[in-house]
Chain A
Amino acid sequence: MSQSGYSLSAGRLSWENLRRRPFRTACLVIVVFILAFTLFGGSLLAASLQKGLQSMAKRFGADLMVVPAGYGEKAEGVLLRGEPSFFYFDGALAAQLAEMEGVLQASPQCFLTSLSTECCDAPVQLIAFDPATDFVIQPWIAEDRQNGRLGGRPEGGLGEGQLVVGSRIDIRSNGTVQLYNHEYPVAAQLSETATGFDTTIFMTRRTMDLLKEAAHREGFGFIADGEPEGSVSAVLVKAGGNVNPNSLAQAIKRNHQNVDVLVSQGILAAIAEALEGFVAYINSFSIILWIVAVVVLMAVVSGSLNERKKEFAILRILGAPRKKLVRLVLTESSLTGLAGSLAGLGAAALLIFPFNTYLSLKIGLPYIRPGAGGLLVLGLVSLALSFAAGPLAAISSAVRISRAETYWTLREGE
């Protein structure tokens, strides 16, 4: 008769016990599973939103955005959600604003939209900037290049006919994007911003003129064709050091009729407020769930240990010290805790990672997933917190059962 001589360690004894009570084990695992799923999912969501807001604040660059009157909301759609849109007013405004007191820099931008059949399978926003005065797009490109994101190109400024595209624009395998039946080389793809810039294509004024000319030859017409020469869509304004952007916005509106002024601070503050409420909701929900989980686990463990008093009495009779009983109970709860928290984390990852974009669209707030390091920290913290709930809920019962006088537990168990 050959028998394998495996060890009856605490782990093995616990495992046999868990296996014999599949329903109770499943309950314990499911409670921890839900906990881990929620903790990881919730913290990932909160971290992604915070990162999204940070990057949005960094990328806004300009303090004010001056657009034609009545187009404030459309401009906000371009900025926040990349909803393609175009509108025009007199380009002389840029120069006038630059002269104004309290204005440090002013730079005009021209908007256009692409056709839906090419490039991105949907119309996207095209934005042309003025290389001479631009203080938003070019520093961004430079920063990305410095962070090694752009692989060394473009070397100098943006060349004629070249494009810079947002992070969610797909580039063709030959490194181009097609616009109005012509292929244009992509000089750089920008980092993720969680703003409308992710689905925007940037170019210089000169390139946009070339693009329009090429499109005219293909027989396309633009609304902008009817606009006077030198029309622009928006003027980005950077306020001077001590100037309050809100007062500057009011001053601009006083001096110029027919303009709307977007204050980026105001937009950001509104988003930050919505985000704060959302994150507070996630956090308080997580805390409450954690407490509920510990209480539920406590009840289940305590109930099951009462039912198993006789078993522990037998172990005492066979010479198990109190410490050993505590260890057995804690090993059991650790095993269920580990299984539940790993499964919960895995399920959350499986659901959240593929649906990243969908979630960010549904939430309607800037959303950027943390990098590998951030994900690792979130995962480990969620794992530790959900795993700890098991042993933590079991410890008081474990100590109680180990302190009981064996004579009585044996008699009660009969």
Chain B
Amino acid sequence: MKSRIASGLTILILGLLISLGPQFLFKPCGPVLAHDGAAASWMKCHWSVRAEIGVGALAAALGIGLLAFRSRDTRLGLWAGVFLSGVLALLIPHVLIGGCAMATMPCQALTFPALTLLGILVALFSGGNLFFHFRRVRG
């Protein structure tokens, strides 16, 4: 079944982007430097992005599960997990941890919007699949 591989891969890639994107592609604000150039302290965005590593890895792992498992009930559970991880990916930067206190900072301007987009995509895609599976499992 092609759609099984396609949907599993999609979630795997989105999960990896949430997890690793902020580390390499859309980096948040750097550390606040002390006078000697050492990192003196980290701002909130740093910890948000740290948390997203875990959330993204979770989504990616569930995506691997979607590649591997065929049973409808198992997939229903996996999709539910993916949906929740998408919601969590949205909540971390906006509600649970947050970021720098000025809208023009890199994390607020680039990192968080990218995470928002990825989180919405994961939530929409898994929500749609969940709806579709739920109807089929019941019907």
Q: Do chains A and B touch in the complex (CB under 8 A)?
A: yes
Cβ of B137 under 8 Å from chain A: no
Interface size on A, residues (CB 8 A): 21
CA distance A117 to B101 in the complex (A): 11
Q: Does B117 contact A (CB under 8 A)?
A: yes
Q: A120–B109 contact, CB under 8 A?
A: no
Determine if B100 and A358 form an interchain contact, defined as CB atoms under 8 angstroms apart.
no
Interface residues on B, range: 20 to 34
Q: Nearest Cβ in chain B — how far from A351, in angstroms? A: 7
| A392: interface (CB < 8 Å) | no
Interface 1/0s, chain A 311-353, versus B by CB < 8 A? 0000000000000000000000000000000000000001100
Q: Mark A351-368, 1 if CB is under 8 A from B, else 0.
A: 100111110010000000
Q: Is A134 an interface residue (CB 8 A)?
A: no
Q: Which residue of chain A has its CB nearest to the CB of B29? A: A121
Chain A residues whose C-beta falls within 8 Å of the C-beta of B44 in the assembled complex: 121
Q: Cβ of B109 and Cβ of A122 under 8 Å apart?
A: no
Q: For residue A361, which residues in chain B have a CB less than 8 angstroms away from its CB? A: 104, 109
CB-defined contacts of B104 to chain A, threshold 8 Å: 82, 168, 198-199, 357, 361
Q: A121 to B116, Cβ gap below 8 A?
A: no
Contact assessment for B113 and A168 in the assembled complex, using a CB-CB cutoff below 8 Å:
no
Whether A355 and B105, one on each chain, are in contact in the complex, defined by CB atoms closer than 8 angstroms, is no
B87-139 contacts to A (CB < 8 Å): 100-105, 108-110, 112-114, 116-117, 120
Bound together, the chains give a CA A350 to CA B121 distance in angstroms of 9
Is the Cβ of B102 less than 8 Å from the Cβ of A169?
yes
Q: Is the CB of A357 within 8 A of B43?
A: no
A121 to B98, CA, bound (A): 13
- Interface contacts beyond A168-B103, A361-B109: sample of 12 additional A-B pairs, CB < 8 Å, sorted by A: A120-B101, A121-B100, A170-B102, A198-B104, A199-B104, A351-B117, A354-B112, A355-B110, A355-B113, A355-B117, A357-B104, A357-B108
